[in-house]
Structure 1
Amino acid sequence: MRLFLQDFLDNGQELNNFAFMESDYVKNRSVLDQVAFFLPSKSFIWHIDYEKIEKNKIFIVPVSFQEYFQKIDETIKEFFYLS
């Protein structure tokens, strides 16, 4: 926990995120498909897993760079129906 808090301070007390969003410019409407929150660290990426937020549970998981970017690649392919 101490390491996460130090990384959080080093990142300006902010989490980073990326989102997959679908926009319909004709109907002037956008829908967020997925949002991922993360915190960069020197040796890995902290992934913020909030899928059980309804049960008041949030998990902070350290993930290797390789594994994290592999998952992003898979998610992009899935989002664009390439897999």
Structure 2
Amino acid sequence: MRPQSLETASISSGSSSPTRHSVSPTQRSVREDSTTSWKSSIRRIVSVLNLVPKEKSSFEKQQERKLREVDMYMNRPQICRLPLKSLTS
């Protein structure tokens, strides 16, 4: 007899009537475990993809450069902000 559902039928050697055996709970947990491992592997893939830096457009690079230059200028001491030509010696 072929199994047609979650239950299987087998004929025992002592009797002519088939006995039914249900699927054990461990087989069900294997399916749940595979779902859990599938979800966790997707999470790992997504976290790795988040680590990869995305490429910036030329506009974003230019804006970042401007911000960096302004920060460098503002962090310098007052004397270093003046151009060299205007310094009196």
Q: Name the TM-score, length of structure 1 as normaliser.
A: 0.29
Comparing both structures, which one devotes a greater share of its residues to helix?
2
* Bigger RCO (CA 8 Å, 6+ sep): 1
Comparing both structures, which one devotes a greater share of its residues to strand?
1
